[in-house]
Amino acid sequence: MDFRIGDEQRMLADSVKAFVAGEILPHEELVERQGFVPEDLFQQVKRKSIEAGFYALNMPEEHGGGGLGSLERATVEVEFGRATRALQMICNRPAPILKACRGDQIETYLKPTIRGERMDCFALTEPGAGSDARAITTRAVKDGDDWIITGSKQFITQAMRADYMIVFAVSGVDETPRGPRKRMTAFLVDKDSAGVSVAPLKCVSNRGLVSTTIGLEAVRVPSRNILGEEGLGFKMAKAWIFSGRVMLAANCVGLAERAMGMAATWANTRTAFGQTIGKFQGTAFKLADMAMNIHAARLMVFDAAQKMSLDCLSQREAAQVNLFASEMVGRVTDEALQMYGGLGIAEDLPLQRFWRDARVERIWEGTSEIHRDVISKDVLAEFAV
């Protein structure tokens, strides 16, 4: 495949890069220090991203979104990945699963979200169901024309600011040849509904992003708020997760490139034993490994994005790109920090933040272990005798 960037794609990348440099990077230290994004800053970045045309780039053009294809989205995510997630996520790329909105849902949820009037959050993970999504215990029980949802969610980002949540719940059980299987359904749940509670979780990664727990206590939701079809939530979630894994990998490339740039600048200017440290093989070879791994990850991202656009990306390929890129950014940020020595862990420099933020990449879009399980099973099946 030809992954050379065309003129339009290069202009898009340059525009987003300039926006990130001018409107996001100057505020990173404030957000890191306070542990949250102040409301006035949130509204400022949101307004400017809408004005620049960088809001809801992943949503359908016919509903007011940017309508970007998978390759263009990957290009954008590399550039946004250079910035702290708490700020770059203000330039909202709503959950792709919202494309399943139908009827009144389009006017009530999809279009206002695209315009920046409402904000969504994706609520699947639970205290007892992370990698094993089918283990969720949040339940939805039919009651006339409504559903009563009870349960809890954990590690949900954007819930503090969201107006509504995409909540996954068990709505029944199907009997299959392999035994009973939970029927999962996605619901659009307004956050101000009676019985909904949201509380922050303090995490070492992405301090300003604010992860949360969500409580759902007998929350009444009308049947018209089912997203897609009853019982098909898991199928839709898997499609969203594939896209998320590729775009997160693109973010990892951007952060790794920023860390490598700082490391290379340091190697060219820091002196020890009478010469710049970049002249020592022990340092120079670290940079060579960084460049090689970043390039490989970038190629994997754009290969996967191309296959997404052709609707032929496999589960194995989505796992491979996310696994490689998430582990790559961990290695690159760690080596960059190491090159700075004691200064690397000083809070005056952003490297320690890159290092902390990179750690969660191996967890939240599928753990490294789950990815290896998916990949290895597919390889064994391919060469079964």
Between 354 and 3, the more confident residue is: 354
Residue 339 lies in a domain: yes
Judge if 245 and 309 occupy the same domain: yes
What are the catalytic residues? 365
Confidence of residue 234 (pLDDT cuts 50, 70, 90): confident
Hey, what long-range contacts does 241-245 have (CB within 8 A, 24 or more apart)? 241/318, 241/365, 241/366, 242/308, 242/313, 242/315, 242/318, 243/70, 243/96, 243/308, 244/96, 244/365, 245/318, 245/319, 245/321, 245/322, 245/365, 245/366
198 with 310, same domain?
no
Burial classification of residue 40, based on how many CB atoms lie within 10 Å of its CB (0-12 exposed, 13-18 middle, 19 or more buried): exposed
Local confidence band at 3 (pLDDT 50, 70, 90 cut-offs): low
Q: Average pLDDT of the chain?
A: 95
Tell which residue, 214, 219, 206, has the closest CA to residue 85: 206
> 268-280, pLDDT tens digit by residue?
999 999 999 999 9
**Residue 133 confidence (pLDDT):** 85
- Among 204, 229, 254, the domain boundary falls at 229
- Other CB atoms within a 10 A radius of the CB of residue 49 amount to 22
Instruction: Give yes or no for residue 5 having a pLDDT over 80.
Output: no
Reported as a pLDDT band with limits 50, 70 and 90, residue 239 is: confident
CATH of the domain at 169: 2.40.110.10
Looking at the structure, do residues 180 and 210 belong to the same domain, yes or no?
A: yes
Give the pLDDT confidence of 196-217 residue by residue, as tens digits.
Answer: 999 999 999 998 999 999 999 9
Task: Quote the domain boundaries for residue 198.
Answer: 120-229
Query: Where are the alpha helices (H) located in the chain, listed in sequence order?
Result: 7-19, 28-34, 39-52, 70-80, 85-88, 104-105, 111-115, 233-269, 281-309, 315-339, 351-359, 368-382
Same domain, 172 and 278: no
Q: Map residue 200 onto helix, strand or coil.
A: strand
Regarding whether 374 and 307 lie in a shared domain, the answer is yes
Mean pLDDT over 338-350 rounds to 96
Do the beta carbons of residue 182 and residue 140 sit within 8 Å? no
In order of 113, 118, 160, 170, 236, the CA distances from 109 in angstroms are: 6, 7, 17, 22, 17
Q: Of 133, 143, 54, 44, which Cα lies nearest the Cα of 91?
A: 54
Q: Within a domain: residue 350?
A: yes
Query: Is residue 70 domain-shared with residue 145, that is, in the same domain?
Result: no
CA-CA distance, 50 to 69, in Å (whole number)?
A: 19
Same domain as 358, residue 260? yes
Q: Higher model confidence: residue 185 or residue 240?
A: 185
Smallest Cα–Cα separation from 75: which of 165, 8, 146, 128? 8
What pLDDT does residue 134 have? 86
- From 166, 197, 229, the end of a domain falls on 229
Per-residue pLDDT at 1: 62
Q: How large is the average pLDDT for residues 47-62?
A: 95
Say if strands 196-201 and 164-176 run parallel, antiparallel, or are unpaired.
unpaired
CA separation for the pair 219, 217 (Å, rounded): 5
Last residue in a domain, options 209, 229, 249: 229
Rounded to a whole number, what is the distance in angstroms from the first to the last CA of the chain? Answer: 31
pLDDT in the model for residue 132: 87
Q: Could you give the CA distance from residue 73 to residue 16 in angstroms, rounded to a whole number?
A: 11
